[in-house]
Amino acid sequence: MKILIIRFTALGDLVTLEPTFRAFKHFFKDANITLLTSSLGKGLYEDSDYFDDFVVHKNFWATVKKLKKTHFDIVINLQCNKPSHYINLFLHKDKTINKSFNLLQKIFHIKTHSKNIQEMLLCADIEQSAIKTYFESKDSITISLPTCKDKETSKRPCIALSTGSSERWKSKQWGIENYSELIQKLSKKGIEITLVGSKLELEDARHIVTQVPSVINLVNQTSLSELKNILNSVDLYIGNDSGPTHIAAGVATDTLTIFGPTDIKHCPAFEKYNGKHLYIKPDSSILCHPCYKGICPTKHECMKNISVYTVFNTIIKYLESKK
């Protein structure tokens, strides 16, 4: 049997879909499963046994040409946007399972029920009794990203930190001056700090290293697979509301997320992760929170409302509770 699963974006969503990927591998142990995804999806899961092949989507016709060579028994469309439906139109397949919209529903903006993992497995002709037995275990729905290292216990507190966010969400950034001051205060407490992130955070990392030379700077130096292992080795991850927060939570590392323009409902605390997941948000005086605007139209009041003192004290209180 050959199965194609489609999911391109976004990083946080790719992390939270881990139980779905794992469930399909469980019920189709002997199937050849291909993931059509982005480079992010491949990076997250290439060290797992969930998939036999990856197709990284960059160009519509190149993707279609590659996939048309295979006849799929099932196509599972977890993306359900127009590009994913258009690609699926050209494929050789026996059955399509859409998580939410089919193509016509998407085109005409018809609301539809979004299927959960169990419902998609039923659509794939798995017996209901087998599905019920599998999902009786809490672990079946807990997000647990595969890593190649077991979690280690460090001799002194270790924190990983990322200052950035995606380019379209600059409003999520707490600010380099805040992070620089925070790291200086933490370093004076003997806490080891590791900076992680992509090329978008390179300038921030250079600034921080000049202020605190003891910081370990791994920004733009790791693959996603390596990042998972780094985050798995620290006591706490600190960052804005962005993908790396969910990667850290996905490897059962405790997190502290700083929220500004988005709602705390996106915090790992409200997802099915192992670990302890804290958050800090603007106080009730900031009436525009959450606005969900990628660029702040005013003066970034939400993030200015969150002080270094507040974040630092939250971290120290957390570390003291772990002793």
Q: What is the pLDDT of residues 198-221, one digit of tens each?
A: 999 999 999 999 999 999 999 999
pLDDT of residue 151 exceeding 70, the answer is no
**CATH code of domain 2-140:** 3.40.50.2000
Amino acid identity, position 14? L
pLDDT tens track for 238-264? 999 999 999 999 999 999 999 999 999
The burial of 265, by beta-carbon neighbours within 10 Å (0-12 exposed, 13-18 middle, 19 or more buried), is given as exposed
Pick the CATH number of 158-321 from 3.50.50.60, 3.40.50.10490, 3.10.20.30, 3.40.50.2000: 3.40.50.2000
Domains 2-140 and 158-321 share a fold: yes
Q: State mean pLDDT over 11-37.
A: 96
pLDDT tens track for 103-145? 888 888 888 889 999 999 999 999 999 999 999 998 999 999 9
Question: Which residue's entry shows tokens 């099915």?
Answer: 272
Mean pLDDT of all residues in the chain?
Answer: 94
Q: 254 with 318: CB under 8 angstroms? A: yes
Question: Which residue's entry shows tokens 């469980």?
Answer: 26
Residue 42: CA count within 13 A, CB half-sphere: 12
Q: Is the peptide bond before 297 cis (omega within 30 degrees of 0)?
A: no
Domains in the chain: boundaries: 2-140, 158-321
pLDDT of residue 153 exceeding 60, the answer is no
Q: Report pLDDT for 108.
A: 82
Neighbours of 187 (CB within 10 A): 16
- The residue among 314 and 108 whose pLDDT is bigger is 314
Q: State mean pLDDT over 222-229.
A: 93
The 3-state DSSP class for residue 290 equals coil
Separation between Cα atoms, residue 186 and residue 100, nearest integer Å: 45
- Taking the model in full, what pTM does it have? 0.89
Sorting pLDDT into bands at 50, 70 and 90, what band is 146? confident
